[in-house]
Structure 1
Amino acid sequence: MRIESHWRILKKDYSSRFVRPRLDVLCYIVITGLVRSRIHLQRQVQLGREKPSSYKDFVQLWRKCAEAVDNSAILKRAEIYHTDKDRWVCSCSSFVLSHVWHIIGTQYR
């Protein structure tokens, strides 16, 4: 899949003037054009000026999963743990170790 993508970029952007370039011309195009642009893109990503190409896919998947969690799941969790915001108590096992964060976390959901 990635090889086909590289070939598509190479044929479309860099060797569109050549119908069947010779191997030395193709190597020259790869070294002078494609590699330089990829190094430039990598530097932009490392410096934080550009987002990686996989970032958009990750964000879409994250939003899709966030929409999958609806209010029924949150209400079910509240019924299981019996969290009471007014009295600051909860029946889960982590309440003993971190009771402040556990109750405050329910305030902002």
Structure 2
Amino acid sequence: MYMYCEQHSLPFLWAYMWKEWYCAERWVLWMRAGCENKISVLKTTMIVESHWKVLKRDFLYKFFRPQLDLVVFIITKKMLKHQERRFNQLAIGREKPERRKIFKSEWKRLAKHNVSNDFRYITDPDKWICGCLYYLTSHFFICKHLIQQKGEILPKFFDHIKRNNQYPFLENADNRSNSTPNTLLQLVPCVQDECTIHEELTEDDSDAFFDELISITKPATDLLEEHKFSQNIKWGKGVEKNFNSIRKMVQEVETYR
């Protein structure tokens, strides 16, 4: 960081980094691994963030900045029951973890990629490591180079795959003989991998989203006013069921506001 700031003439950035992070008094803020010879299976705090995302999108989506007592009530009475049922389904094998489904989909997608003949990257299937950029940024520790060297796999491979924090980072204990042993490091092609980037909605996107909803509800309100003026009660009874979900949402929001 110091060399970067020096090369780009950023003295104020280095002053900030030193004062807030690099000085000895601020080291306690740094995240440190519990074991120096192991790599954590989790790379970020996304597991915790995903937990709160489920709470906000599946249980609190009708409320904007809900009160704390309402949040506690929904967690204890609704969310915990849902999580317990989900855990029991996973424990007895009735359902598969979502990460296994995503892993399988990602594996099959990368297996379709072609590898050129320009060999640059170093890969070792036995340790399950590769020098390509996609592998270094993949939360599954996979890339098309390793998948190509793995070769054909059985369907049960995806049910028994295991992540490790030591070599090999990925292994299948029930199907170790499925791939050809390879004790030598191999060079694999250098190809620019495509990474899927999930961007957050910008302020303009948010405005457009609500403008679209408003543009839908305003004509509906005009239709109601028009048929109210003409006393067309039969039409109103026919479309009443379409407003039940909106009525329920408004009632719940008003109850806890």
TM-score for both structures, normalised by structure 2: 0.25
Work out whether 1:43 is the aligned partner of 2:124: no
Aligned to 1:90: none
Count of aligned pairs:
74
Aligned to 2:150: 69
In 2, the alpha carbon distance for the partners of 1:56 and 1:21 equals 33
The reply to whether residue 7 of structure 1 matches residue 52 of structure 2 is yes
Paired with 1:4 and 1:69, the residues of 2 have a C-alpha distance of 33
| 1:25-56 Cα distance to aligned partner (Å, 9 max, x none) | 10011112211111101101111110122322
What is the rounded CA distance, in whole Å, between the counterparts of 2:100 and 2:58 in structure 1? 23
Equivalent residue letter for 1:20: R
- Using CA pairs under 8 Å that are at least 6 residues apart, name the structure with larger relative contact order, 1 or 2: 2
SS at match of 2:63: coil
RMSD: 3.1
1:17 aligned to 2:59?
no
User: Identity over aligned residues, as a percent?
Assistant: 31
TM-score (norm 1): 0.53
Separation (CA, whole Å) in 1 of partners of 2:47 and 2:75: 16
* Structure 1 gaps, min length 5: 78-109
Taking structure 1 as reference, are residues 23 and 68 closer, same or farther at Cα in structure 2, changes over 3 Å only?
Answer: same
